[in-house]
Structure 1
Amino acid sequence: MVACVHVEQPVDRDAYRRAVGRFATGIAVVTTRLGGIDHVMTVNSFASVSLDPLLALFCAEKVARFHDAVLAAGVWGVSVLPDTAEDVSRFFAHRGRPLAGQLDGRPHHHGGLGVPLLDDALATLECRTTAVHDAGDHSIVVGAVVAVATPAEGSPLLYHEGRYRRLG
Protein backbone atom coordinates (compact mmCIF):
# COMPACT_ATOMS: atom_id res chain seq x y z
CA MET A 1 0.00 0.00 0.00
CA VAL A 2 1.31 3.43 -0.94
CA ALA A 3 0.66 6.28 1.46
CA CYS A 4 -0.52 9.53 -0.12
CA VAL A 5 0.64 12.75 1.40
CA HIS A 6 -1.45 15.81 0.70
CA VAL A 7 0.40 19.10 0.84
CA GLU A 8 -1.77 22.22 0.70
CA GLN A 9 -0.65 24.85 -1.77
CA PRO A 10 -1.85 28.45 -1.74
CA VAL A 11 -4.87 28.90 -4.01
CA ASP A 12 -4.54 31.50 -6.74
CA ARG A 13 -7.13 34.29 -6.22
CA ASP A 14 -8.03 34.45 -9.92
CA ALA A 15 -8.52 30.68 -10.07
CA TYR A 16 -10.72 30.90 -6.98
CA ARG A 17 -12.84 33.68 -8.54
CA ARG A 18 -13.27 31.65 -11.74
CA ALA A 19 -14.30 28.57 -9.77
CA VAL A 20 -16.87 30.27 -7.52
CA GLY A 21 -18.11 32.30 -10.49
CA ARG A 22 -19.49 29.07 -11.92
CA PHE A 23 -22.05 29.04 -9.10
CA ALA A 24 -25.02 31.00 -10.47
CA THR A 25 -26.52 33.43 -7.98
CA GLY A 26 -29.53 35.67 -7.85
CA ILE A 27 -29.08 39.41 -7.51
CA ALA A 28 -30.64 41.50 -4.77
CA VAL A 29 -30.42 45.03 -3.50
CA VAL A 30 -29.91 45.37 0.25
CA THR A 31 -30.99 48.63 1.87
CA THR A 32 -30.91 50.40 5.19
CA ARG A 33 -31.78 53.83 6.52
CA LEU A 34 -29.58 55.75 8.92
CA GLY A 35 -29.93 59.36 9.99
CA GLY A 36 -32.67 59.99 7.42
CA ILE A 37 -30.45 58.77 4.56
CA ASP A 38 -31.20 55.72 2.44
CA HIS A 39 -28.21 53.42 1.84
CA VAL A 40 -28.34 50.86 -0.97
CA MET A 41 -25.97 48.11 -2.17
CA THR A 42 -26.20 45.36 -4.81
CA VAL A 43 -25.38 41.87 -3.50
CA ASN A 44 -25.24 38.36 -4.83
CA SER A 45 -24.29 37.01 -1.41
CA PHE A 46 -27.80 36.78 0.01
CA ALA A 47 -29.17 33.53 1.45
CA SER A 48 -31.97 32.08 3.49
CA VAL A 49 -30.50 30.60 6.68
CA SER A 50 -33.28 29.13 8.81
CA LEU A 51 -37.02 28.57 8.91
CA ASP A 52 -37.14 28.27 12.71
CA PRO A 53 -36.49 31.03 13.52
CA LEU A 54 -36.77 32.86 10.17
CA LEU A 55 -33.23 34.07 9.40
CA ALA A 56 -31.51 35.44 6.30
CA LEU A 57 -27.98 36.70 5.64
CA PHE A 58 -25.94 38.81 3.28
CA CYS A 59 -22.26 39.66 3.12
CA ALA A 60 -20.94 43.23 3.12
CA GLU A 61 -17.43 44.27 2.22
CA LYS A 62 -15.89 46.03 5.22
CA VAL A 63 -14.53 48.97 3.20
CA ALA A 64 -17.94 49.76 1.66
CA ARG A 65 -19.74 52.71 3.27
CA PHE A 66 -22.87 50.52 3.35
CA HIS A 67 -21.12 48.19 5.82
CA ASP A 68 -20.90 50.72 8.63
CA ALA A 69 -24.35 52.16 7.90
CA VAL A 70 -26.14 48.79 8.07
CA LEU A 71 -24.32 47.76 11.24
CA ALA A 72 -25.22 51.06 12.93
CA ALA A 73 -28.86 50.94 11.78
CA GLY A 74 -29.44 47.35 12.88
CA VAL A 75 -32.20 46.86 10.29
CA TRP A 76 -32.13 46.14 6.57
CA GLY A 77 -34.27 45.28 3.60
CA VAL A 78 -33.77 42.96 0.65
CA SER A 79 -35.30 43.45 -2.80
CA VAL A 80 -34.81 40.46 -5.11
CA LEU A 81 -34.29 41.85 -8.62
CA PRO A 82 -36.22 40.74 -11.70
CA ASP A 83 -34.37 40.02 -14.94
CA THR A 84 -35.41 43.46 -16.22
CA ALA A 85 -33.37 45.26 -13.53
CA GLU A 86 -29.77 44.86 -14.70
CA ASP A 87 -29.41 48.66 -14.79
CA VAL A 88 -30.55 48.85 -11.16
CA SER A 89 -28.02 46.20 -10.14
CA ARG A 90 -25.18 47.94 -11.97
CA PHE A 91 -26.05 51.35 -10.51
CA PHE A 92 -26.12 50.18 -6.90
CA ALA A 93 -22.93 48.14 -7.39
CA HIS A 94 -21.00 51.26 -8.44
CA ARG A 95 -18.74 52.62 -5.71
CA GLY A 96 -18.68 56.29 -4.82
CA ARG A 97 -22.09 57.25 -6.20
CA PRO A 98 -23.75 60.12 -4.31
CA LEU A 99 -26.01 59.06 -1.45
CA ALA A 100 -28.51 61.86 -1.94
CA GLY A 101 -31.28 60.98 -4.35
CA GLN A 102 -29.95 57.57 -5.34
CA LEU A 103 -33.47 56.12 -5.26
CA ASP A 104 -34.99 59.02 -7.22
CA GLY A 105 -36.80 57.73 -10.28
CA ARG A 106 -36.89 54.18 -8.92
CA PRO A 107 -40.32 53.21 -7.59
CA HIS A 108 -39.90 52.29 -3.94
CA HIS A 109 -41.49 52.59 -0.53
CA HIS A 110 -40.27 52.39 3.04
CA GLY A 111 -41.34 49.26 4.92
CA GLY A 112 -42.34 48.90 8.55
CA LEU A 113 -38.70 49.01 9.69
CA GLY A 114 -38.16 52.21 7.69
CA VAL A 115 -35.91 50.57 5.10
CA PRO A 116 -36.44 51.25 1.39
CA LEU A 117 -37.88 48.40 -0.71
CA LEU A 118 -38.14 48.38 -4.50
CA ASP A 119 -41.73 48.21 -5.77
CA ASP A 120 -40.89 46.02 -8.78
CA ALA A 121 -38.90 43.44 -6.79
CA LEU A 122 -39.81 39.77 -7.12
CA ALA A 123 -39.64 39.49 -3.34
CA THR A 124 -38.85 41.77 -0.42
CA LEU A 125 -37.77 41.03 3.12
CA GLU A 126 -37.28 43.25 6.14
CA CYS A 127 -34.76 42.08 8.71
CA ARG A 128 -33.47 43.04 12.14
CA THR A 129 -29.77 42.20 12.63
CA THR A 130 -29.20 39.38 15.11
CA ALA A 131 -25.52 38.59 14.50
CA VAL A 132 -22.50 39.83 12.61
CA HIS A 133 -19.64 37.46 11.87
CA ASP A 134 -16.14 38.42 10.78
CA ALA A 135 -15.29 36.81 7.44
CA GLY A 136 -12.00 38.13 6.07
CA ASP A 137 -12.59 41.32 4.10
CA HIS A 138 -16.37 40.96 4.56
CA SER A 139 -18.86 40.70 7.41
CA ILE A 140 -21.65 38.15 7.37
CA VAL A 141 -24.76 39.96 8.55
CA VAL A 142 -27.53 37.68 9.85
CA GLY A 143 -31.02 39.00 10.47
CA ALA A 144 -34.36 37.91 11.83
CA VAL A 145 -36.94 38.22 9.06
CA VAL A 146 -39.84 40.35 10.33
CA ALA A 147 -41.74 40.99 7.07
CA VAL A 148 -41.92 39.50 3.57
CA ALA A 149 -43.78 40.33 0.38
CA THR A 150 -43.88 39.21 -3.25
CA PRO A 151 -44.83 42.43 -5.06
CA ALA A 152 -44.09 41.38 -8.66
CA GLU A 153 -44.05 38.32 -10.88
CA GLY A 154 -41.26 37.45 -13.29
CA SER A 155 -37.93 35.76 -13.67
CA PRO A 156 -34.92 36.57 -11.49
CA LEU A 157 -31.79 38.39 -12.57
CA LEU A 158 -28.83 36.01 -12.31
CA TYR A 159 -25.06 36.36 -12.19
CA HIS A 160 -22.81 33.62 -13.57
CA GLU A 161 -19.16 33.61 -14.69
CA GLY A 162 -18.85 37.38 -14.33
CA ARG A 163 -21.91 38.22 -16.41
CA TYR A 164 -25.57 38.97 -15.90
CA ARG A 165 -27.79 36.14 -17.09
CA ARG A 166 -31.45 35.38 -17.49
CA LEU A 167 -33.40 32.13 -17.29
CA GLY A 168 -34.27 30.52 -20.60
Structure 2
Amino acid sequence: MEPFELRDVMSRFATGVVVITVGGPNPHAMTANAFTSVSLTPPSILCSISHNAVMHKALITARRFAVTILDARQQELAAHFADKRRVLGITQFAGIPFHAGPHTGAPLISGALGWLECELIDAHDFGDHTIFISVVLGTERGPGDAGLLFFESRYDRVGPDVPA
Protein backbone atom coordinates (compact mmCIF):
# COMPACT_ATOMS: atom_id res chain seq x y z
CA MET A 1 0.00 0.00 0.00
CA GLU A 2 1.28 3.46 -0.89
CA PRO A 3 1.22 6.33 1.66
CA PHE A 4 -0.91 8.49 -0.66
CA GLU A 5 -3.64 5.81 -0.60
CA LEU A 6 -3.95 5.96 3.19
CA ARG A 7 -3.83 9.77 3.13
CA ASP A 8 -6.59 9.85 0.51
CA VAL A 9 -8.94 7.61 2.50
CA MET A 10 -8.14 9.27 5.85
CA SER A 11 -9.01 12.68 4.34
CA ARG A 12 -12.60 11.40 4.43
CA PHE A 13 -12.46 11.35 8.26
CA ALA A 14 -13.53 14.77 9.57
CA THR A 15 -11.44 15.97 12.49
CA GLY A 16 -11.34 18.97 14.76
CA VAL A 17 -8.45 21.41 14.47
CA VAL A 18 -6.14 22.40 17.32
CA VAL A 19 -2.97 24.39 17.74
CA ILE A 20 -0.35 22.84 20.00
CA THR A 21 2.00 25.34 21.66
CA VAL A 22 5.09 25.28 23.85
CA GLY A 23 6.39 28.27 25.78
CA GLY A 24 9.71 29.06 27.39
CA PRO A 25 12.77 30.48 25.67
CA ASN A 26 11.87 28.85 22.33
CA PRO A 27 8.09 29.17 21.91
CA HIS A 28 6.57 27.26 19.03
CA ALA A 29 3.14 26.40 17.64
CA MET A 30 1.81 23.80 15.24
CA THR A 31 -1.62 23.11 13.77
CA ALA A 32 -2.71 19.51 14.36
CA ASN A 33 -5.68 17.26 13.86
CA ALA A 34 -4.13 14.01 15.14
CA PHE A 35 -5.36 14.74 18.65
CA THR A 36 -7.86 13.04 20.98
CA SER A 37 -8.75 12.41 24.59
CA VAL A 38 -7.45 9.15 26.07
CA SER A 39 -8.95 8.88 29.53
CA LEU A 40 -11.02 10.86 32.01
CA THR A 41 -9.27 9.21 34.97
CA PRO A 42 -6.52 10.24 34.86
CA PRO A 43 -7.42 13.12 32.56
CA SER A 44 -5.22 12.56 29.52
CA ILE A 45 -4.88 13.25 25.81
CA LEU A 46 -2.68 12.15 22.96
CA CYS A 47 -1.29 13.80 19.87
CA SER A 48 0.71 12.32 17.05
CA ILE A 49 3.57 14.39 15.63
CA SER A 50 5.93 13.72 12.74
CA HIS A 51 9.56 13.10 13.62
CA ASN A 52 10.45 15.83 11.10
CA ALA A 53 8.23 18.52 12.67
CA VAL A 54 9.87 21.32 14.66
CA MET A 55 7.23 20.63 17.34
CA HIS A 56 8.58 17.10 17.86
CA LYS A 57 11.83 18.31 19.44
CA ALA A 58 10.11 21.32 21.07
CA LEU A 59 7.61 19.09 22.89
CA ILE A 60 10.25 16.63 24.06
CA THR A 61 12.37 19.52 25.35
CA ALA A 62 9.59 21.53 27.01
CA ARG A 63 7.58 18.52 28.31
CA ARG A 64 4.72 20.90 29.16
CA PHE A 65 2.52 22.32 26.43
CA ALA A 66 -0.93 23.67 25.64
CA VAL A 67 -3.64 22.75 23.19
CA THR A 68 -5.95 25.42 21.78
CA ILE A 69 -9.18 24.05 20.28
CA LEU A 70 -9.90 26.40 17.39
CA ASP A 71 -13.19 28.18 16.83
CA ALA A 72 -14.77 28.05 13.35
CA ARG A 73 -13.74 31.66 12.83
CA GLN A 74 -10.02 30.87 13.35
CA GLN A 75 -9.29 29.19 10.03
CA GLU A 76 -6.59 31.78 9.23
CA LEU A 77 -4.76 30.85 12.45
CA ALA A 78 -4.92 27.17 11.53
CA ALA A 79 -3.42 27.92 8.12
CA HIS A 80 -0.77 30.20 9.65
CA PHE A 81 0.50 27.63 12.16
CA ALA A 82 0.42 24.90 9.49
CA ASP A 83 2.61 26.95 7.14
CA LYS A 84 6.14 25.51 7.25
CA ARG A 85 7.46 28.75 5.67
CA ARG A 86 6.46 31.00 8.59
CA VAL A 87 9.09 32.62 10.77
CA LEU A 88 9.68 30.60 13.94
CA GLY A 89 10.13 31.63 17.59
CA ILE A 90 8.06 34.31 19.28
CA THR A 91 7.73 36.14 15.94
CA GLN A 92 5.25 33.53 14.69
CA PHE A 93 2.79 34.88 17.29
CA ALA A 94 3.07 38.52 16.10
CA GLY A 95 -0.39 40.09 15.94
CA ILE A 96 -2.06 37.02 17.46
CA PRO A 97 -3.65 37.65 20.86
CA PHE A 98 -2.68 35.05 23.47
CA HIS A 99 -1.69 34.74 27.08
CA ALA A 100 0.69 32.35 28.83
CA GLY A 101 -1.00 29.38 30.46
CA PRO A 102 -0.74 29.32 34.27
CA HIS A 103 0.38 25.66 34.37
CA THR A 104 2.72 25.54 31.38
CA GLY A 105 3.64 29.05 30.29
CA ALA A 106 2.64 27.97 26.78
CA PRO A 107 0.65 30.39 24.62
CA LEU A 108 -3.13 30.02 24.90
CA ILE A 109 -4.60 31.60 21.76
CA SER A 110 -7.48 33.99 22.42
CA GLY A 111 -10.94 33.48 20.93
CA ALA A 112 -10.78 29.68 20.94
CA LEU A 113 -13.39 27.10 21.95
CA GLY A 114 -11.19 25.80 24.75
CA TRP A 115 -7.73 25.22 26.11
CA LEU A 116 -5.91 22.33 27.74
CA GLU A 117 -2.57 22.53 29.49
CA CYS A 118 -0.68 19.26 29.52
CA GLU A 119 2.42 17.48 30.73
CA LEU A 120 4.08 14.78 28.66
CA ILE A 121 4.16 11.42 30.44
CA ASP A 122 4.86 8.88 27.69
CA ALA A 123 5.91 8.69 24.05
CA HIS A 124 5.69 5.86 21.54
CA ASP A 125 7.56 5.97 18.26
CA PHE A 126 5.80 4.29 15.38
CA GLY A 127 6.66 4.74 11.73
CA ASP A 128 7.43 8.37 10.97
CA HIS A 129 5.51 9.77 13.98
CA THR A 130 5.61 9.76 17.76
CA ILE A 131 2.42 9.34 19.77
CA PHE A 132 2.70 11.62 22.78
CA ILE A 133 0.50 10.76 25.79
CA SER A 134 0.03 13.54 28.31
CA VAL A 135 -1.87 14.25 31.51
CA VAL A 136 -4.10 17.30 31.51
CA LEU A 137 -3.08 19.82 34.17
CA GLY A 138 -5.91 22.28 33.58
CA THR A 139 -8.66 23.21 31.16
CA GLU A 140 -10.75 26.21 30.27
CA ARG A 141 -13.83 26.43 28.09
CA GLY A 142 -14.09 29.35 25.65
CA PRO A 143 -17.25 31.26 24.76
CA GLY A 144 -17.65 30.06 21.14
CA ASP A 145 -20.09 27.45 19.91
CA ALA A 146 -18.89 26.64 16.38
CA GLY A 147 -16.00 24.30 15.62
CA LEU A 148 -13.37 24.29 12.90
CA LEU A 149 -13.14 20.98 11.03
CA PHE A 150 -10.70 19.49 8.54
CA PHE A 151 -12.25 17.28 5.84
CA GLU A 152 -11.08 16.30 2.35
CA SER A 153 -7.90 18.38 2.83
CA ARG A 154 -9.86 21.59 3.45
CA TYR A 155 -11.29 23.47 6.38
CA ASP A 156 -15.00 23.42 7.17
CA ARG A 157 -17.21 24.58 10.03
CA VAL A 158 -19.81 23.02 12.26
CA GLY A 159 -22.17 24.58 14.77
CA PRO A 160 -25.19 26.85 15.02
CA ASP A 161 -25.32 29.99 12.89
CA VAL A 162 -21.86 29.55 11.39
CA PRO A 163 -21.28 32.16 8.65
CA ALA A 164 -20.18 30.76 5.30
TM-score, structure 1 as length reference: 0.89
What percent of counterpart residues are identical? Answer: 36
Deviations 1:56-111 (A, max 9, x none): 01111111111101101101100000111111001100114212411121110001
Match of 2:136 in 1: 145
SS of the residue corresponding to residue 152 of structure 1 reads coil
Greater Cα shift, 122-131 or 11-20: 11-20
Distance of 1:65 and 1:20 partners within structure 2: 23
Residues in 1 aligned to 2:11 and 2:62: alpha-carbon distance in whole angstroms:
31
Structure 2 residue matching 1:90: 3-state secondary structure: helix
Which residue pairs with 2:9 in the alignment? 19
SS in 2 for 1:98: coil
Q: 1:60 aligns with which of 34, 49, 64?
A: 49
3-state DSSP class of the match of 2:72? coil
Equivalent positions of 1:1-168 (< 5 A) are 11-34=1-24, 36-100=25-89, 101-112=91-102, 113-167=104-158
User: Could you say which structure has the higher helix fraction?
Assistant: 2
TM-score by length of 2: 0.91
Runs of 4+ in 1 over 6 A off after TM superposition: none
Match of 2:162 in 1: none
- The alpha-carbon deviation at position 12 of structure 1 amounts to 2.8
Larger Rg: 1
Query: What is the alpha-carbon distance in structure 1 between the residues aligned to residue 142 and residue 26 of structure 2?
Result: 24
Q: Which residue pairs with 1:5 in the alignment?
A: none
Question: Could you tell me how far 1:17 is from its partner in structure 2?
Answer: 1.2
Letter in 2 for 1:37: N
Structure 2: state its 5+ residue gaps: 160-164
CA deviation after TM superposition for structure 1 residue 14, in Å: 2.1
